[in-house]
Structure 1
Amino acid sequence: MPPTPSSRARWGSSSWPSSSTPSSTSSPDSPPRGGFVSDTASGSTGGARILLDGVTKKYGGQSVAAVDDVTLEIPAGEIVMLVGPSGCGKTTTMKMINRLIEPTSGRIFIGEDDVTHRNADELRRHIGYVIQGAGLFPHLTVGDNIAIVPRLLKWDKKRTSARIDELLELVNLEPGKYRDRYPRELSGGQQQRVGVARALAADPPVLLMDEPFGAVDPITRQRLQDELLRLQEELRKTIVFVTHDFDEAVKLGDKIAILQQGSRIVQYDTPEEILANPADDFVRGFVGHGAALKQLTLTRVRDVPLNEAAVAKIGGDPVAAIHAAQAINREHVIVVDDQDRPQRWMSLDQLADTKSLTNVARDENLEVVSLASTLNDALDSMLTSSHGVVVVTGRRNVYQGVIRVETIMDAMSDMRGATAPAEPAS
């Protein structure tokens, strides 16, 4: 077994006791053990705990280490955000986990295995890696991009093909529509989804994400963040995510590590604790102004009651849809497909056409948030909505209800009440 810390995380000059060593004695070329190998044929693999034990990286000719004696535990199945200024070593720290950068000293455990003893190429085939801009091979189709690692692992064609379709469905890209396209035929957000699918192809327990959403527009970025949270609810991978954006860290992270030069961790805790009790002035600078408003980023859509809307199905009866809307005093209905995925809003006037529900094209600008979205995301989407509400979806984009501005205002009122100082006793 790998050494176990006595607390959630330690860093700086401390390290695991030198007498504690992992039980693995396999050769560097042998396949990983202890839950590190994933096999989609037997069901999806969850996450694996990561332990960094006194990890240091020094480059030749430099007297100061880029990463200086970092010791840190990343719990299995959680998203840990590495945040800090440029040059602090957060990306270097992350890349040492899959040995894209070799550590100068220290040990790195994934599950029970000290991966510094593994064959580096073999190791990387069992760790997902997502970069900014997706990094897709332009000469390969979407399907072939996703299939790269399964083919390196010598999966048969049937299993590989099934996995491609499964992953495209998982990231909400229709296999029949996108499998044979080339990256140049996709939007930036679609390319990033394919990048995530490729990283998940061999069902790795660990996913490394290096500012993956930094190159897309704010609306697409929000949707990709929501998509990641939705995927994490299903897959429970261990995700190490590098970002400059503290708001993104608050939204996505189960825990946040705030780093200074040399990857010195000045605070490592939950977003709630960092917002409420920043460790020092450096952390307070990262939190910035408006910490109270950031509380909206800590509350998920699933934590508040959803509202009712009139719903119609493609191919359904427009007259019945009109009656359903009138029964709850609504002027619009939300149209869903045969898998209950929202497609667009339709007014009662539009539904007066008896063929209005026969062929309904999806509105690409439909304002949608997921149950994992934050109230801050819902409020942003609501400000651009012409309906005063935002559609909410759950797993596989299934319609769940709508959220109204009144719901968000009530939640903000509750937050203010919870954080208001108690009146002194008379």
Structure 2
Amino acid sequence: MSETTSTAGERILLDGITKKYPGQSDPAVDDITIEFPAGEIVMLVGPSGCGKTTTMKMINRLIEPTSGRILIGEEDVTDTDPDELRRRIGYVIQGAGLFPHFTVGDNIALVPRMLKWDKKRVSDRVDELLDLVGLDPAEYRDRYPRELSGGQQQRIGVARALAADPPVLLMDEPFGAVDPITRQRLQDELLRLQEELHKTIVFVTHDFDEALKLGDRIAILQTGSQIVQYDTPEQILANPADEFVEGFVGAGAALKQLSLTRVRDIELHEAAVAHVGDDPAEAIAAAEAIGREHVVVLDRFERPQRWVSLRELRRMTNLENVRRDTDLETVSLASTLNDALDEMLTSSHGVVVVTGRRNSYQGVVRVETVMEAMQQLQQPPTEAVT
């Protein structure tokens, strides 16, 4: 399949935005001005009731602002037709919000069909996006949401939001309803997609650790969408603006620094690898040549399928029917050191497989390497000699 081409993100400016509801003395959002840079992930985080979701929903006018301006790029969209505006902005919610009586393909095709794309263009786009979010089009296109896991449904929700190639993506606690392991993998998938697509993403969460992992910038809000601090994760951890931010960051700020270091920032090691269809004898020889007891088997797209021991290989006549291990411990290049350690706790190999674009094999990361990186991070910086 050809490489995905996409519309790059555009900056968003909320200029003096206020939202007052009838019968309430205090505004839900009070004169907020904030700019979201083009192509970045900005996290809106704060306690319940602080107005972060209301602020985000005013960008696509699901909630109409009482006053103020909304600019996307250089265009003031405050008075744009709301339906037309929403077709230009992707929107992902918790639980994916898929139409249960539509197939996966029909769910993804919804907005392109509204935009009157021709049938072939719609079909090609559905397959392209399924491939982009790591789901085989032939296997998933004609399924219904009830036939999918929670994580798969959320991937389809992201694919649907990207269907018309919008420059802006709004995400309202999209991973809050899935289990922790699936949540981590969805976060990694989002970071991988962003490396390819460079959208402007506004992401609402109540989880500060999620904000640290995903955000290029974090806006910490309190009641009325008052912005207490808006900065990079590194700066917020190192220099919290006040006691409110300190309390929100919580204990263990030094340990949280580990969530800012990515697997791509540390040295990867090479495992013994083989491909589906290879001769087991050749795989054994390759493993023994570098002193390994296991081989990671890759498919024709270089995607890791499972670990196979030398003992298993000696009993096999071919590697044709190697099925993917759904519990295979993997992390992506965008995963954090904390993610890698979490996976290592359940790994029986002492290493975790690392994947890159389109889930292709990149190498493995060892626990010793992660521990060394952790020790270096926790050492105080040495002062420059003058």
TM-score scaled by length of structure 2: 0.98
3-state SS of paired residue (1:99): coil
Contact 2:299 2:305 survives alignment (8 Å) = yes
Identity across aligned pairs (percent)?
A: 78
SS of 1:262's equivalent in the other structure is: coil
User: Could you tell me which of 233, 247, 252 is aligned with 2:209?
Assistant: 247
Question: Any residues of structure 2 matched to 1:5-404 within 5 Å, and which?
Answer: 43-404=5-366
- Please state how far the C-alpha of 1:375 moved relative to its aligned partner: 0.8
Q: Does the Cα contact within 8 Å between 2:354 and 2:361 map onto a contact in 1?
A: yes
Alpha-carbon distance in 2 for matches of 1:165, 1:49: 29
Which structure 1 segments of 5+ residues have no match?
1-41
* Pairing 1:409–2:371 present: yes
Q: Distance in 2 between matches of 1:44 and 1:236?
A: 8
The answer to whether the 8 Å contact 1:350/1:356 transfers is no
Tell me how far 1:393 sits from its aligned partner. 0.5
String of CA shifts for 1:174-218, please: whole Å, max 9, x gaps: 000000000000000000000000000000000000000000000
Q: 1:371·1:392 contact (CA, 8 Å) conserved in 2? A: yes
CA positional deviation for 1:355: 2.4
Does the 8 Å CA contact 2:87/2:111 hold for their aligned counterparts? Answer: yes
Per-residue deviation, residues 203-234 of structure 1 (Å, max 9, x unmatched): 00000000000000000000000000000000
> What's 1:5 paired with?
none
Secondary structure (helix, strand or coil) at the match of 2:33 reads strand
CA distance in 1, matches of 2:385, 2:301: 56
> Given that residues 44 and 203 in structure 1 are in contact (C-alpha distance below 8 angstroms), is that contact kept between their aligned partners in structure 2?
yes
The CA RMSD over aligned residues, in Å, is: 1.7
Query: What is the one-letter code of the residue matched to 1:229?
Result: L
User: 8 Å contact 2:278–2:318 — kept in the other structure?
Assistant: no
Q: Confirm or deny: 8 A CA contact 1:206 1:237 kept in the other structure.
A: yes
Moved more, 221-230 or 375-384: 375-384
- How many positions carry a matched residue from both structures? 385
TM-aligned CA deviation for residue 43 of structure 1: 4.0
1:413 positional shift:
1.4
Q: Which amino acid in structure 2 is aligned with residue 230 of structure 1?
A: R
Distance 1:354 1:384 in 2: 27
**Structure 2: gaps spanning 5 or more residues:** none
